Chain A
Amino acid sequence: MIHRELSRREYLQAMTAAGLATIAGGAPKLRAADAVTHPKPTADTVILLWMAGGMGAPDTFDPKRYTKFEVGVPVDKILSTFPAIDTVVDNIKLTEGLEHIAKVIDRGTLIRSHVVADLGNILHSRHQYHWHTGYVPPQTVACPHIGAWMARVLGPRNPAIPAFINIGQRLEGSGESEELKAFTTGGFIGTEFGPFNLPFPNDAVAAVKPPKGMTPARFAARHDKFKELLKASPVGGMASDHHHESMLKAIDGAHRLLTSKDRDAFDITKEPKPSYDNYNTGRFGLGCLLARRLAEAGARFIEVTTEYVPFLHWDTHENGHTTYARMKKEIDRPIAQLVLDLEERGMLDRTLVVLASEFSRDMMIEGIPGSTAKDQSRAKADKLGELKHYGLHRHFTGSGSVLMFGGGVKQGFLYGETAPERPLVTTKNPVSIRDLHATLFHAMGISPKTAFDVEKRPFYATEDGKGVPVLELFAKGQ
């Protein structure tokens, strides 16, 4: 068997060379990179837990007055459809179904005042584009995902692991898939730092293994013969050309990834069974497990999504209560376990876990009060008649919850406030997408003013370079 493992050192050298060769090409240049003052990082890795489809805060992280389901109850009286529960932090209450997170919330910061733009009409993918790139679509250039920014500016932590990994979202076969692709991209930064997509955590290892059905020996022989053909090729005179050279480096880099020991991180079946079972609430739960393994192995930015499929999961246009009970079951235990595992491994301090969604939901209001957005509830009723009427079926942009753990943020901290009665708008410390992104960049040691030259003009990490990190969220001494 010719297959051999490379040492980490060889690996680093080869992968870095491949990466650099690529950067040297036509990709945009960082603008006066040395002149931006970057903050001191408090985190090395981000794990973004994406609640795709609009997670309603009143039924998750921002409990309001609870109204039980009863036929005949006027729907406009309802704020929350789950009762509040206590957590290990006195002043933080969550809703029923989040008992595991309630036990670890003393490790985190809960923002209740995330205010996203009301884009006049609700199209999930558009708001998701805004959240993930920091820019409202459409834009005149292909905007990079925030993960691509981090990957590009900071580079890989371990060159053997793609810097930006995207877990759980299928990009083919569902509605709005083209719109999802528009922001699931490295954009102008280029594919080298674009997402490494792993839609199925159980199958993730296939992405870094030789093709299905190919033995390692055959795979190695194929590569060896490729090298021989290359050597024998009469076009050797072109080998000094940058196209030629970078092509070979990229091919070597890919081959190394496919034969390295590091790829075990992608194989969640290698996880001890009790731990695997603990995470296994479905694809999202296993995605959290995969994210932990990849963070351990050295990924830079990992997104795990509950997956956006129109009208499924958090995208509740009817039957909201029932669906939320299921969704909370899916996310509660794995998220808490992720936090505990990172803590146990001494990684939580330097790993920023962020839970967010493109907007919140409300029983009555579409968008914000006064918005022109069209009511999209599919279970319209003045009074509760059946269970399908019961839940948050409108898209609400006036407030939303973001949960953060580790990576230098305060522990057991509550930030921002929302009104006690409808409209449940933010009443204190609003945090925009721009400033939230600036906060994430700040934690990672990236100035929100970092810019690339794109078509001769600056394109900033946060919109127009104006993002301001919410410094109050960071623990003292950070």
Chain B
Amino acid sequence: MERTEPLPPRSIAMRHLFTLLAIVASAAPTLAQPPDKKTDFAHDVVPILKAHCAKCHTNGTYKGGVSFDTREALLESKSVVPGKPAMSELHARVTSTDDELRMPPPKAQPLTAKEIAVLTRWIDDGLPWEPGFTFKPTAYVAPLKPRKVVVPPAKLGLEHPIDRILEGYFAANKVTPPEPIDDMAFARRVYFDLIGLPPATGELEAFVADKDADKRAKLVAKLLAEDRSYTDHWLAFWNDVLRNEYKGTGYIDGGRKQITAWLYQSLLENKPYDQFARELINPAAGSEGFAKGIKWRGAVNASQIVELQFSQNVGQVFFGANLKCASCHDSFIDNWKLDDAYGLAAVIADKPLAIHRCDKPTGATAGPKFLFPELGTIDPAAPKAKRLEQLAALVTHPDNGRFTRTMVNRVWHRLMGRGIVHPVDVMGGKPWSNDLLDYLAVYFAENGYDLKKLMAHITTSKAYQSKAVPLAEEFTGTGYVFRGPELKRLSAEQFIDAVWMLTGTAPAKPVAPAKIPPFPDTIPKERQFVRATLVHCDELMRSLGRPNREQVVTTRPDQLTTLQALDLSNGERLTSTLSRGAANILKANPMATPSELAEWIFTRALSRKPNAAELTAANELLGDKPTADGVADLLWAVVMLPEFQLVM
């Protein structure tokens, strides 16, 4: 029998266990056990196991091959027979008077009679355990510093660094790499992903016909060079993330300020992301709305003062760090502390910030502190402007890999359908490929924090240019394995833009107060219109998921709901748009036969011609002499297709 030292009272392990205990305690109201179970595992058993067993039998240390990590592990080690204390080795060991056998070993305190009784009853009750509870900490410690990955050497047909990294990944995970997509599918996907619209008709044909071996890279470059189209599309993403909107809560009495003009201009000129971040944190007149937050009229919770909003938003937007919990108390779900949230808030505070724990003052005052103090400190004596400048420098510090990893992960998520770390706002989570994430983060920094360059890099990889992998259900557990891109649902704005483009029904004027340049002549007329991102949210956009932007939003709901489908089926907004569109289409094609009209609609809506069966169905809707009603109905039937609403 192995012997061990008694537990040091405040070892690191112990502290970790306290964190776990905190989780259990905090969740206690929902952890009530069925009434027939007498044992309260969380409150009665866990403390005993922690105090006497955890040191040698959990979290990587399993003396004698016995693990208490999970119920399954405990059963596997055969030291307990549920329902039968007398047959359980655990029971025999803790009650033994033989020093050679007794657990915990003689140097440690033996269990009290009461503790033994609790464990006995626990076994007798069938070993109840909280679902999901484990003694093994699951928190992965995300590295901070950037790491330069040695990319495996290129081979013929495998030149792209992303694919070279993924080749090894696929092999290690025994995954067959996804199949490549054809030109049509690639074009449709990359148009939607980079500029938010499907290709115009002539564009697609020209692209498919093009014999240039490098045509895909050239298409990517062409799209990214369309500054306005790119900006009009990505504005939705950034408005969500920076909670910028053209009207809404807070504006009513000057408690909130738009950053639209600044944001639009920044996207238009593809401002380097580090500079972009610095201008948001240490703002100039046009960008201060983000840091100012939303000042509500009247009193708010201590955790929602504008200074803490700043702290939470900086944490979430730039680091995928959730400081919302830590704004009230030390977080139960990760390692952020009340001091971290307040420390960041104190950077922007005009006067010393009284720390409140769960709305009650602790008596302490927060001084400015950065989330990653190893990168540097903020001078508490400096004036606010200086402190913000220091913070901006720390956030974008070259050694701050969290900053670049967070952003490249968001871009990967937008383009591929799922983050390398997922969800994208939990950047403390484990990436499915450290190498890929670190490679992209360093690539991003080394290439001047150029978002367009990053997008070009990803979209020119084989990984991007491969078939989407159907998933029967959303993957929510741990152990995700990348098999290829996922299907992506069009955002509310993308869907509406695509309908407007198809039907020529876009609004005449933008609402967004920004300097919006005219489209260059090189862009097809079909794609020159006022996009949904540039106007107020209407009831259809709201229904389809454009958020009200009071909170930071980084991910939109990706499934159509019944109420949304109802709005699409009989809502006034889509119905009238399609009616007007039908009239436009008939006017533009006065002599067209039903088949020609069907082909016209299919090509524009789905980037392909209809097949024979589709043509038959379409012709039946259109009738011999197509009317506006018939065309509207065909438009509806086409825009409701998953093929239209999903980026495949």
- Same complex origin of A and B: yes
- A binding-site residues for B, Cβ under 8 Å: 15, 18-19, 21-22, 24-27, 31-32, 35-37, 118-123, 126, 136-142, 162, 171-172, 175-176, 178-179, 181-182, 185, 190-192, 194, 196, 206-212, 214, 218, 221-222, 225-226, 228-235, 237-244, 246-248, 250-251, 253-255, 257-258, 373, 449-451, 455-458, 460, 465
Residue contact A247 to B560, C-beta cutoff 8 Å: yes
Residue contact A225 to B543, C-beta cutoff 8 Å: no
Q: A149–B421 Cα gap in the complex (Å)?
A: 30
Sample (6) of A-B pairs whose CB atoms are under 8 Å apart: A126-B298, A136-B300, A250-B559, A258-B566, A456-B333, A457-B333
Known: A242-B473, A455-B324. A192 touches B562 (CB 8 A): yes
Residue contact A35 to B487, C-beta cutoff 8 Å: no
Q: Which of B88-106 contact A (CB under 8 A)?
A: none
Residue contact B563 to A162, C-beta cutoff 8 Å: yes
Closest-CB distance, B403 to chain A (whole angstroms): 21
How many of chain B's residues have a CB under 8 angstroms from any CB in A? 88
Residue contact B304 to A138, C-beta cutoff 8 Å: yes
Residue of A nearest to B468 (CB): A238
Total number of residue pairs linking A and B with CB closer than 8 Å: 254
Closest-CB distance, A37 to chain B (whole angstroms): 5
Interface 1/0s, chain B 300-321, versus A by CB < 8 A? 1101100001001000000000
Contacts of B542 in A (CB 8 A): 181
Known: A126-B298, A229-B618, A242-B471. A192 touches B561 (CB 8 A): yes
Residue in contact with A258 in the complex, picked from B325, B560, B570, CB distance below 8 Å: B570
Q: A221–B550 Cα gap in the complex (Å)?
A: 42
B365 at the interface (CB under 8 A from A): no
Residue in contact with B568 in the complex, picked from A140, A208, A238, A254, CB distance below 8 Å: A254
Residue of B nearest to A246 (CB): B559
Residue in contact with A235 in the complex, picked from B327, B539, B643, CB distance below 8 Å: B643
Closest-CB distance, B55 to chain A (whole angstroms): 27
Interface 1/0s, chain B 606-644, versus A by CB < 8 A? 001001011011101100000001000110111011110
Residue contact B565 to A458, C-beta cutoff 8 Å: no
Contacts of B206 in A (CB 8 A): none
Interface 1/0s, chain B 147-181, versus A by CB < 8 A? 00000000000000000000000000000000000
Residue contact B621 to A455, C-beta cutoff 8 Å: no
Contacts of B617 in A (CB 8 A): 225, 228-229, 232
Residue contact A182 to B249, C-beta cutoff 8 Å: yes
Residue contact A120 to B299, C-beta cutoff 8 Å: yes
Q: A228–B618 Cα gap in the complex (Å)?
A: 9
Interface-facing stretch out of B13-21, B26-34, B520-528, B581-589: B26-34
Q: A226–B634 Cα gap in the complex (Å)?
A: 8
Residue of A nearest to B325 (CB): A457
- B binding-site residues for A, Cβ under 8 Å: 26-27, 29-33, 131, 247-249, 251-252, 294, 296-301, 303-304, 309, 312, 322, 324-325, 327, 332-333, 425-426, 468, 470-474, 487-489, 539, 542-543, 545, 547-548, 550-551, 555, 557-566, 568-572, 575, 608, 611, 613-614, 616-618, 620-621, 629, 633-634, 636-638, 640-643, 645-646, 648
Contacts of A455 in B (CB 8 A): 322, 324, 425-426
Q: A205–B484 Cα gap in the complex (Å)?
A: 45
Closest-CB distance, B543 to chain A (whole angstroms): 7
Contacts of A142 in B (CB 8 A): 547-548, 550-551
Closest-CB distance, A191 to chain B (whole angstroms): 5
Contacts of A225 in B (CB 8 A): 617-618, 620-621, 633-634, 637
Contacts of A181 in B (CB 8 A): 542, 548
**Listed residue (A172, A191, A450) with the most chain B CB atoms within 10 angstroms of its CB:** A191
Residue contact A196 to B563, C-beta cutoff 8 Å: yes
Closest-CB distance, A194 to chain B (whole angstroms): 7
Residue contact A233 to B614, C-beta cutoff 8 Å: yes
Q: A456–B26 Cα gap in the complex (Å)?
A: 12
Residue contact B322 to A456, C-beta cutoff 8 Å: yes
Contacts of A141 in B (CB 8 A): 324, 551
Residue of B nearest to A455 (CB): B322
Q: Which 9 A-B pairs have the closest CB atoms?
A: A121-B298, A120-B299, A232-B613, A254-B565, A241-B470, A228-B617, A120-B298, A449-B29, A25-B559
Q: A106–B488 Cα gap in the complex (Å)?
A: 57
Contacts of B575 in A (CB 8 A): 211-212, 214
Residue in contact with B558 in the complex, picked from A175, A185, A243, CB distance below 8 Å: A243
